[in-house]
Amino acid sequence: MKGNTYTIIYSAVLALVCASLLTLASVSLKPYQEANRKAKEQRTILRALGVKVPDYAGAEQLLEIYNRNVGETTVAGRTAYVYNHPSEGKVTAFRFAGPGLWGPIEGLLALKADMRTIYRMAIYKQEETPGLGGNIENEEFQGLFRGKQIVSPQGKAALDITLPGQAHAVNQVNGISGATLTGDKLEQVINKLIADIAAVEATGA
């Protein structure tokens, strides 16, 4: 029986020591990690709005560029990020967030002044399959959204991520081959935002 008591106490002490060490590390590193996440988010907002950012801008420089260029207002209970683009006019970006195939997807949809035409789409958080669904974070895919409309030719407020090569209408975007499910999830997440925007536009008009 002495053996069992020893085993239990030993395991408890070892677990306690390991857990304490990790808690200490986690607490002391948290500020740096938060700053990194925040910087990535800010960089994505700036990219979605088309604000020029130097490639190796540090966190402070990012914040300074952000504060100088981006205004924040509230539309439909969502934060809207507004930037007066020198050539595109007023650009408004909204965050979207929702479940992807494997984990949460978070990103931004930026619209031109007409609130119908997509200026840019950008994603800053996703956990989709690397090499397939994960490619939604690639600029190449995100570039397909530029200039698309969030309203179908029939007047329905919705974006459609199709099978690759099937995008013909103004509100359709080519999906990624091998990532149909991620495309469907992303479409749902973005359409939730589009529905909210459309509701406000309808009452505002």
- Binding interface with other proteins (CB under 8 A): 3, 6-7, 10-11, 14-15, 18, 21-22, 25-26, 29, 32-33, 36-37, 39-40, 130-131
If the CB atoms of residues 17 and 199 are measured against other proteins, the closer one turns out to be 17
Using DSSP bridges, classify how beta strands 160-162 and 118-125 pair: parallel, antiparallel or unpaired.
unpaired
Name the minimum Å distance from CB 3 to other proteins: 7
If the CB atoms of residues 139 and 204 are measured against other proteins, the closer one turns out to be 139
Measure the CA–CA gap between 186 and 18, rounded to whole angstroms: 39
Name the minimum Å distance from CB 31 to other proteins: 8
Name the minimum Å distance from CB 159 to other proteins: 26
Name the minimum Å distance from CB 163 to other proteins: 21
SS3 3: helix
- Residue 204 near residue 191, CB atoms below 8 Å: no
If the CB atoms of residues 11 and 166 are measured against other proteins, the closer one turns out to be 11
If the CB atoms of residues 11 and 79 are measured against other proteins, the closer one turns out to be 11
In terms of Cα–Cα distance, which of 77, 41, 76, 79 is closest to 59? 41
Measure the CA–CA gap between 148 and 159, rounded to whole angstroms: 9
Work out whether the CA dihedral 73, 75, 79, 83 comes out positive or negative.
negative
